Every structure is written in C-alpha cells, then in structure tokens.
Amino acid sequence: MTMRIYGDTKSGNCLKVKWTAQQLALPFDWVEVDILQAQSRTPEFLAMNPAGQVPAVVLGDGRTLAQSNAIMLHLAEGSALIPGDPFERAKMYEWLFWEQYSHEPYVAVARFHVLYLGKPVGELDAKLVERGGAALARLETQLKQTPYLVGERLTLADIALVAYTRVAHEGGFDLSLYPAVKAWVARVEVALDIH
C-alpha cells in the first residue's frame, strides 16, 4: 500500500512531511484535510490519530504516525538528511525540538491569526511578535556562521525550520531584517525544489 499523508496545504507542519518524502523520492498519496473545516476532528480522523492533529501518515503497513518532526525522522532514517555524526545528529534534534517549542508557536501562530483569522498585524498579541522576532534573530545568529543549521549540509532541521520561516512575512515579520535567514530560505528552497 502506498503511504498516505494526511495534511492541510495551508500548514507548514504538513508541508515539511511532504517535502521530506519528495526529497527522499518516497511515493505517497496526499489526502487534504481542511483544519478550518474541523476535518481533523471527525470521528474517522480521530480513530486514526487520537491527537486530532495533522500531519499524520498511514504507512505502507497500515500503521499510523503523527507529529511532523517524528514523521520526518522516521521517513529519513538512514538518509543523508540525518547526519551520521552523533553530535551533529544531536544538534539536529536540538533544532527540531526548538522549532516546535520556540519558533512555531509564535511565527506560525502569528501567520495563522493574520492570514486565516483576519487579524490585523498591528493587533497581534505582543508576545507572538516579540518571541517570533527572537526566534528569527536566533536563526540569523546561526546562519551567519554556517550555510545550513547544522553546518555544511541540508538536514531535517532546515526542512523543519524553513516551513514557517519562508512565510513569516504573512504573519507580519520582516525578513529583510534577517539577511542570513533570507539567503538560507532561498538556498533551502532550491535544495527542496519548492518555489
């Protein structure tokens, strides 16, 4: 059975999984799930993923996996997207957890409020603006030193973090303040062939 990816194309978390599968040339069927229509809260969906979140994948053997970064780690196992060196791999994990804790809850949520809930940028919660800016500044610090987040090569950390960073302007963030981030976004978009 071909792997099925359940995702909402509006969601960077879902696109991460799609891009990883594409990058690894893994065959998959994409099943669109509209979050705004609560399609991830139907009884059928909850039976598959009790967390009621997308993305979720049903693997070839019928088993289900959720959490974007966990799915990426599973799909990419043994590939060049995960560094072979233990310390570099640990740094990749560090970025993946930081992304979900200190980047996505601000950068992605600000975008969601503006783009899908229609909130004017000027009325965004100050915490979203401040912490989203801090997350982008932290990326800038790293990307002034290395072309990719974990050194010289593309890893899952770049795929995870580019997803919402490349659309951060849709949540009111000005990427021109972070030139190294902007250059990295372009670099990762070329590597992933997404434009």
195 binds a copy of itself (CB under 8 A): no
* Biggest CA pair distance of the chain: 48
102 binds a copy of itself (CB under 8 A): yes
143 binds a copy of itself (CB under 8 A): no
Cα 162 to Cα 37, 38, 60, 83, 142: the distances in Å are 26, 26, 27, 18, 14
Both structure tokens of 17: 């999984």
Residue from 75, 77, 99 nearest 89 by CA: 77
In angstroms, the CA 156 to CA 50 distance is 25
The pair phi, psi for residue 106, each rounded to 5°, is: -115, -55
User: CB-wise, 67 or 191, nearer to a copy of itself?
Assistant: 67
User: CB-wise, 65 or 191, nearer to a copy of itself?
Assistant: 65
CB of 171 to a copy of itself, least distance (A): 18
User: CB-wise, 134 or 177, nearer to a copy of itself?
Assistant: 134
94 binds a copy of itself (CB under 8 A): yes
- What residues make contact with a copy of itself under the rule CB under 8 A? 50-51, 59, 63, 65-71, 73-74, 77, 86-87, 89-91, 93-94, 96-98, 100-102, 104-105, 138, 141
